Amino acid sequence: MSTPEILVRDLHKSFGANEVLRGIDLEVRRGEVVCVIGPSGSGKSTLLRCVNLLEEPSRGQVLVGGTELTDPDVDIDAARRRIGMVFQQFNLFPHLTVTENLTLPQRRVLKRDRASAARIAAENLQRVGLAEKADAYPAALSGGQQQRVAIARALAMGPEVMLFDEPTSALDPELVGDVLAVMRMLADEGMTMMVVTHEMTFAREVADRVVFMDGGVVVEDGTPEQVIGDPGHERTRHFLSRLLDPAMAEMEQESPDRADR
């Protein structure tokens, strides 16, 4: 069997006395889409940020494409070039046009010349359906369009792996669909993807595997049919029932005896 594109072994992460990740083991194969779900505070985003060392693990190993990012001697900048990341917030430079937002990191990090960077920017704007916005500034775009620009910016760097940290959570509901459509396209193209999300329909239809985290550990890991359709753990069932029934979640938040931990 081929080496996993992402390999996490016994990953721990603490912030002071707060142990957020408590021994995570996870593999993502090349071309696989893995959605990570779970309640707020379960460690999902911290796990994702540890995969490209935006957060330094307290203990454990992270390998991407066979390179150990947690090796003290690793060239972390070179290793990160294989990893694209899309955050909840778009992090676009407001004083630069869409094209300039895409070309700047190519020229600074990959040392591409201006013409090559512009050509690759145009190709990736076309991929996300925003070719006509090349000369626009971020303020003139909707939140969904800005997020698609952020995805195009990551793709322009030629990553082998894409990490998405709640990419639709800051968007109005009517803008979510276009962003998810771009992510579906990437999945269809065979991009290796690790996605932290609350979009259960996307996870059910697009993911090869779903990982449910709670309390800093992996509680369940399986196909969408297994984890979402027929969860084997009570913690998973409780989370999904609250997610799919907001009224129940509100009642629990109002009750001091049922406070979320």
Checking DSSP bridges between strand 83-86 and strand 67-68, what pairing results, if any? unpaired
The pLDDT of residue 2 is 67
The pLDDT of residue 243 is 82
Q: Is the distance from CB of 168 to CB of 151 less than 8 angstroms?
A: no
The pLDDT of residue 63 is 96
Which of helix, strand or coil describes residue 78?
A: helix
Checking 233-241 for CB contacts under 8 A at 24+ apart, the result is 236/212, 239/37, 239/38, 239/39, 239/212, 239/214, 240/200
The pLDDT of residue 178 is 94
Give the chain's residues under pLDDT 70.
1-2, 245-261
pTM here is: 0.91
State residue 185 phi and psi, 5-degree precision: -60, -45
Q: Of the candidates 10, 24, 17, 14, which has an alpha carbon nearest to the alpha carbon of residue 214?
A: 24
Checking DSSP bridges between strand 59-64 and strand 161-165, what pairing results, if any? unpaired
Tokens of 182: 């771009």
